[in-house]
Structure 1
C-alpha cells in the first residue's frame, strides 16, 4: 500500500462520492476507483460499501480509514521535521480562515507578509471551522485563523484579538435613533443570520438568546430570521430593506452598499476572540511568528 492510496480512501470516506473524492485528489475518477479496489484486494477486505447514490465505509473499513488518517498525519510530521533546517520564510505557507474572518483579514494580511517575508507566498483558504480542523490535522494547512473556543489534540491555539459585534441596518431604520442598543430591542425586527454550520451564527444566538424562539417560527412573521450564505450577502439584504443583521466589526464596512447602511454598537458589546492555531509538531515557528505579527499589524492599522 502507498500513502497515495491511503489518502484516496480517507478522502473517499469524507466525500462519500467517487467523483468528488477524485476531484479533491486531483485525479480522474477511474484512477481513484482502481486504486481503492487495488487496496481492498491487497488487504483482502471490503473497505467501502457502494450503492447507486453514495459510498460509505464498512465497519472494518472505518477502522482502516481511521488508522490511515493517523499514518497521513505522521507522514506530514516527517516532512515538517525534514524542513526544520531550512530557511523557514522562503517556502509557501498554507493558511486557512473561517468564512467570517478570511475575506476581511486576507486582503490586509498578504501585503503585510509580503513586506516581512517576501519569499514566503501564502496559499489561503476560507471554509467552516470543522473543515479547517480536519485539514490542519491532515497537514493540508499549516495554520488556521478561527474564533474561540477551539480545542484539538496536538494543536496549539493562541488568542490574537477580541472583536466586538455591531448591529447593521438601513440608514432609515427606526433603530438609528438610538446611539446604543440592547439585544431585546432587536426582537421587533427581522434579524438576518448566517446558515447552519457557521460558528458566528452560534455566537450571535449566544449573545442574543432572545432571538432563538424566532428562528423556526413556522408562521413566517417578521421575527423569523432569514439565512444568508455569507456576511456580504447579509449586507446586501440589509441594504435592500429586508431586515437588520449582527456583524463582527471588521465586516461592517467595506463594500459599495456602505452609504446605504449604518451601524450601532450594543450597550454591552458581545465579542468574539480570534485566534491562530497550528500543529504542535509544525517546525516553521518563524513563519507562525511572522503571521502572528502581521495580523497584529493589520489590527493596529484598522484602529489607527
Structure 2
C-alpha cells in the first residue's frame, strides 16, 4: 500500500470517474486504474462499485476513504515539519473567503502579504460558509476567512477581528432621524436582506429574532450583494444592515444614511479557520499576523456583542 494509491482513491471518490480523476492527478487513466486495482487486490475488497454510473463507493470503500484522507493529510505534515524547521514560508496555499468579507478585507491585506511573503502562492476563492466547511473537510482548502463561531469539531478558529453591524436607513424611513438605535428598534419585516445561503443574512435574522418573535420569514426583497441592498434601500424599499468595513467606501450622500447602534454594538466575529489537523500552520500564522496588524487601524469598536452566523 502506498500514499500514491491512497491519493488516487481519494481522487476517484471525489470525481466519481476514473478519467477525470487521472486528469486531476496528472497521470494516465490506465496507470491510475491499475494502482487502485492493485490496492483492492491486496486488501481483497472492492473500494468502488464500477457498475454504477457515476461510480460509487462501496460501504467498506467509504470507511477506507475516510482513513485514506487522514493518512494523506498526515503525509503532508512531513513537509510541514521540514518547512517549519527551515523557517520557510512558501508554496501553494488555497484560501476561501466568504462573499461579505472578500471585497472589503482582501484589498486591505493582499498586497502587504504578497510583499512580505513572496514565496507563498495564494489561490483565493469566494465561497459560502457551507462550501468552505466541505472543502476544508475534503482537503481542498488549506484555510478560510469566515464569520464564526461555527461550532464544528473538525475546524479550528483563530479570531482576526470583530466587525460591527451598521444600520443603513434611507430618508423617509421611520428610524432615519434617530441619532443611535437599539436592537429592539429593528423590525425584520421592513429590512432588506441578502439571499439565503449568506451567513451575514443569518446573523441579521438572529439579531432581530433575539428581541422579537417572528413567525413568518417573508421579506420584501432579497439580493445577492450588499451593493444591491444599498441601491434598493436608496429607492425607499426598506433599511438594511451593513458590515462596518463596507461603510468605509460609501460616498458622502450614502454615509448620511448610516446610523450606529447603542453599545454594546452588535458585531460579527471574523476568523481564519482551518482543519484540526493543523497543516501549513506557518502560512496560517503569517496571514493572521498581517491581517490583524492592518485591521487594528480600521476598526476601533471595543464594546461589542457577538451575533452568531449559524442559522437558527
Change (3 A) 1:232 1:48: farther
Distance 1:299 1:293 in 2: 10
Q: Match of 1:64?
A: 64
- Shift of the alpha carbon at 1:154? 6.2
* Residues 161 and 273 in structure 1, CA contact (< 8 A), matched pair in contact too: yes
Q: Verify: 1:244 aligned to 2:239, yes or no.
A: yes
Aligned equivalent of 2:14, options 11, 15, 40: 11
* Residues 46 and 58 in structure 2, CA contact (< 8 A), matched pair in contact too: no
Give the TM-score normalised by structure 2. Answer: 0.73
Distance 2:287 2:142 in 1: 11
- Shift of the alpha carbon at 1:153? 4.5
Change (3 A) 1:233 1:8: farther
Change (3 A) 1:252 1:171: farther
Gaps of 5+ in 1: 218-223
Pairwise mapping of residues 83-98 of structure 1 onto structure 2 (< 5 A)?
83-98=83-98
Aligned equivalent of 1:226, options 189, 201, 221: 221
- Shift of the alpha carbon at 1:107? 0.8
Distance 1:33 1:200 in 2: 47
Q: Match of 1:161?
A: 161
Change (3 A) 1:155 1:174: closer
Change (3 A) 1:7 1:257: farther
Gaps of 5+ in 2: 301-312
- Shift of the alpha carbon at 1:22? 4.2
Change (3 A) 1:41 1:299: same
Helix, strand or coil for the counterpart of 2:125? strand
Aligned equivalent of 2:5, options 2, 7, 12: 2
* Residues 96 and 141 in structure 2, CA contact (< 8 A), matched pair in contact too: yes
* Range with bigger deviation, 34-43 or 113-122: 34-43
Aligned equivalent of 2:297, options 272, 297, 301: 301
Report the aligned-residue RMSD: 3.9
Change (3 A) 1:121 1:212: farther
Q: Match of 1:265?
A: 260
* Residues 192 and 225 in structure 1, CA contact (< 8 A), matched pair in contact too: yes
Change (3 A) 1:18 1:281: closer
Distance 2:10 2:278 in 1: 20
* Range with bigger deviation, 119-128 or 281-290: 281-290
Distance 2:208 2:144 in 1: 27
Change (3 A) 1:61 1:252: farther
Q: Match of 1:213?
A: 215
Cα offsets for 1:126-157 (capped at 9, x unmatched): 21223323333444333322222134446542
Distance 2:124 2:173 in 1: 37
Distance 2:149 2:230 in 1: 26
* Residues 155 and 274 in structure 2, CA contact (< 8 A), matched pair in contact too: yes
Change (3 A) 1:191 1:284: same
Helix, strand or coil for the counterpart of 2:160? strand
- Equivalent pairs counted in the alignment come to 289
* Residues 189 and 244 in structure 1, CA contact (< 8 A), matched pair in contact too: no
Give the TM-score normalised by structure 1. Answer: 0.75
